[in-house]
Amino acid sequence: MIFTKTELDGAYLVDLERREDSRGFFARTFCVREFEEQGLESEFVQCSISLNRQRGTVRGLHYQLPPACEAKLVRCTAGAVHDVIVDLRPDSPTYLHHIAVELTARNRRALYVPEMFAHGFQVLEDETEVFYHIGAFYAPEQSTGIRYNDPKLGIHWPLPVTAISVKDRSWPLFS
């Protein structure tokens, strides 16, 4: 795997190191040893999948509070997403900063999301599927979010929002 640091400390793009031949290619998508060498969470306790039927759908921005903070490894396995993470660590020099990356089934790129980062995405193609490795068990009482369109965050979503849950539309604003 190829780990590329982002401008948000602790967040990485994870690209495949492909071994190609006439049949196609083979690549490792996760290795405990390689994640530990980067200082990243290497114990994932849950895997989840999200199917998103309609282009323009927004999910997020979600995170879990202590003591149930969760790191995530997010990969798009069908279609494409505009993936966004926001640093919510108050002591971080990039507090409330965000990055956006395009994760697609074609680029096979993953995004490592550290604990105390909000995560969300917008679907760029119909019938898009997102696969998550998650470092903590889901804890509904610790689960929360921030509004996807909070002016203080200044996140640009590339498409008009076509579908979003009531919950995601109703998260509080920072501003």
Catalytic residues: 62, 132
3-state secondary structure of 33: helix
Instruction: Mention every residue, 6+ apart, whose C-beta is less than 8 A from residue 92.
Output: 9
Residue 136 near residue 68, CB atoms below 8 Å: yes
Sign of torsion, CA 154 124 6 72? positive
Pairing verdict, β 117-123 and 58-64: antiparallel
